[in-house]
Chains A and B, each alone.
Chain A
Amino acid sequence: PQGKRRCWGTCRRRYYNLSGQVSSGSHLSFQQQQDGNPATSYGHADTQMRYTPYGIPPYHQRGSFQKRDLTIVNMDTKEKPPERKTERKRQEETLGSWFKVTIPFGIKYEEKWLLNLIQKHCGVPFTPVEFHYEKMQAQFFVENANIAFALKNVNGKIYNEAKERISVFVEPCDAPHSVQKELRSAKVAQIKLTLNKPNEGSQESLDLQRLYFDPGMATAVNLGQGRAEGSAWEGHSVKSAWEMDKGQRLGPDEMCADRNRLSTTFPDESSSIRSDVPSDGQETPPATHRAAEACQRLPTCKGSFFGSDELKSVVLQFLQQYYLIHDYGDRHHLLGVYHDEACFSLTIPFNPEDPDPIRFYEYLEENRNLKKLKDPHLRVQLLNHTKVDIVTYLYVFPKTQHDLSSFVVDMWFQTETMLWVLLSVIAVEGRYQGCVRAFTRTFIATPATSSSLCIVNDQLFVSDSSRDETESVLFIPMPTCSQQEMVCSFSITSRMNFQKWMDEPPSQK
């Protein structure tokens, strides 16, 4: 019933203290952790098998894997019989022996905290691979049966801050995706006939490059390579990062609506480049042949698009300041940037087979996806209206971290009078409890002054991040120095501009 569901979200929000921070440990009133084997509790074991298109030799398949490794972990001694050693050696040349470690309800815990706790009680040091949250669980992989055995023994020995026991389950599995990918890439590189083709796969590292960030404190980590530090506010460094970003991602070809000049990339591996030169010596091939080739080409995808150079710096500064406040400041300051009667709504994807995905639990009640939400009454209710409503909602929003240099921004504007500026931001959002999500934010803003914007419409769509995005994202902590000053000055300036805009009727240009 809807009434009950609304209560859940309200209760959820009460857990946030005034500064919007979240304390670690369990504060969500989920069911008590179960002691059962995760395979039987959740019934997901089979569906978690990874798709292995390149095929794994039979002795790596799940069945034989399980049998063999159960034997290993049950042994009291670390020494293995000779035939086992041979088999293991053969495996290690290819995929190694891998185990999946599952912590039910692990989503409640921050990654570093959880791993440290486990390590403290684990007899051997371990390297977690592909730590991630899946639904309510935390999962990671380890390579090595001894380590798996030691981790299995941690079960029943660790507790959270509320003195609830944390279960740890270990089971054999196929090599994790990133490992398989690396192996696959290496194999492909070996058999490739083309010379000097850069192989992106071999650049991948299994190390997770995550920066751990203390809530409420900006621990400035110097990433080197010219990343933004104190100069972020001037916009110069961040702009440089974005320019660089754009340059890196741009293809050399420009999109042209003229069909004859279409130059393209071929994102599909199976498509091949066919020669345009026919054998009969004519300069141009028959139109039909050319059309057949052209019909499958997509225009080159490019980086951020700014419809106006004039507005570009305004937009960049706006986004910088918005997310700085959103991530590190008091979100009440955002009152200064929204129009009095602004609108805000939030959506998550709709999958009829899983209409209320647990991994988006904090958004379920506010989800205004019209594909799912049909009640006209709720459709109005879930559209936050007025800046007070919006900022009140954003204030209790979970803590986030955004990497501005990962933002892709498309900006367009009303060309005659510049009445509106439309920003479409696609990026990845990091969360305090470690999960990473993709989001798309659409802002419509009106110029409040020549140098600042005022938001009239704001739409946020949150979805899953693909693994590649996760691995490549580095979250840049903002420096503490003068942060408060900057935040305050932004809000004051914005309020003044906002007020001015409201006082003066918009002029016809």
Chain B
Amino acid sequence: MRKFTSDWYQGDREGTHGRSNHFHEEPQTSHACRGSRTREDVATPPLLGQGASGSPLTMSMDFKTYVDQACRAAEEFVNIYYETMDKRRRALTRLYLDKATLIWNGNVVTGLEALTNFFETLPSSEFQVNMLDCQPVHEQATQAHTTVLVVTSGTVKFDGNKQHYFNQNFLLTAQPTPNNTVWKIASDCFRFQDWASS
């Protein structure tokens, strides 16, 4: 079953060591570019295959690199997102696109202003993530922008409420700058696993 999809994957096991310097950078080094952005930004090194004009990644880039980039973005994102949610709640909306939409336990919240109000009124939180997965979203569904699907799960305790298991997914879109790629949330879907008994 575990066939190698050799069309995409050209490398071998040693291939990971031979990658370009772009992918040797650890997530922390992206913070060195702090001068051009805020602390909450989710940033990764510039995407391979990305033109200066921000044209989408072409499929000629090998699948492995595509996946690597998505994973890097997802891990960086999840670290920043939940820490911001728990400890710097007011800064959370900076991670969202202007027209982003949040569906929170079946309630829809659209646009930065509504999101700001929403997060302000949500009680303080303590998140614990025990599952993370991500996939690059196919170009056919995104056309204009490189997008990554991020899926998380874990537990959350909101102040004054009982602990819940939660499931969440995000669509992150890439916004390239000369020095790096900044990822922002286009959509966010959150639900308690036991929402019906909440």
Residues of A within 8 A of B (CB): 6, 9-10, 13, 249, 254-255, 257-259, 262, 265, 267-268, 271, 294-305, 307, 339, 341-343, 345, 347-351, 368-371, 376-377, 379-381, 383, 385-386, 389, 392-393, 396, 408, 410, 412, 414-415, 419-420, 422, 424, 426, 438, 440, 442, 444-446, 456-457, 459, 461, 463, 466, 468-469, 506
Contact = CB atoms under 8 A, between A and B. Distances in A.
Interface stretch (B45-53, B138-146, B174-182): B138-146
Interface string B155-177: 00011111001010101000000
A249 B1 CA distance: 42
Contacts of A255: 104, 107-109
Label chain B's interface by main secondary structure: mixed
Given A259-B117, A442-B149, A506-B143, A303 B167 contact: no
Nearest to A10: B1
A369 B120 contact: no
Contacts of A446: 138, 140-141
Contact of A302 (B74, B107, B123, B142): B107
Contacts, number: 222
Interface in B29-75: 59, 63-64, 67-68, 71, 74-75
Contacts of B74: 370
A3 to B, nearest CB: 11
A377 B17 CA distance: 11
Nearest to B75: A370
A174 to B, nearest CB: 23
Contacts of A254: 107
Tell me the interface secondary structure of chain A in the complex. Answer: mixed
B132 to A, nearest CB: 4
7 contacts: A307-B101, A349-B131, A371-B129, A376-B71, A410-B103, A438-B193, A444-B149
Contacts of B9: 380
Given A262-B121, A295-B121, A305-B107, 19 more contacts: A255-B108, A257-B115, A259-B121, A297-B160, A347-B151, A349-B153, A369-B133, A370-B133, A371-B131, A379-B71, A385-B63, A396-B1, A408-B195, A420-B141, A444-B141, A444-B149, A446-B140, A456-B141, A506-B143
B2 A381 contact: yes
B114 A257 contact: yes
Contact of B132 (A307, A370, A389): A370
- 9 shortest interchain CB distances as A-B pairs: A296-B160, A302-B106, A255-B107, A456-B138, A301-B105, A420-B141, A257-B117, A257-B114, A301-B195
A66 to B, nearest CB: 33
Nearest to A469: B194
Given A258-B117, A412-B103, A422-B169, A301 B137 contact: no
Residue from the set A345, A351, A393 with the largest chain B CB neighbour count within 10 Å: A345
A351 B137 contact: no
Contacts of B71: 370, 376, 379
Contacts of B103: 305, 307, 410, 412, 424
A426 B104 contact: no
A497 to B, nearest CB: 14
Contacts of B109: 255, 257
Most buried by B among A9, A262, A298, A424: A298
Interface in B93-121: 99, 101, 103-109, 113-115, 117-118, 120-121
B91 interface: no
A264 to B, nearest CB: 10
A8 to B, nearest CB: 12
Contact of B101 (A249, A383, A412, A424): A412
A43 to B, nearest CB: 25
Nearest to B108: A305
Contact of B138 (A10, A265, A457, A466): A457
Given A257-B118, A296-B159, A461 B140 contact: no
A420 B137 contact: yes
A168 B36 CA distance: 68
A461 B189 contact: no
B106 A304 contact: yes
A9 B1 CA distance: 10
A427 to B, nearest CB: 10
B130 interface: yes
A468 B103 CA distance: 25
A287 to B, nearest CB: 13
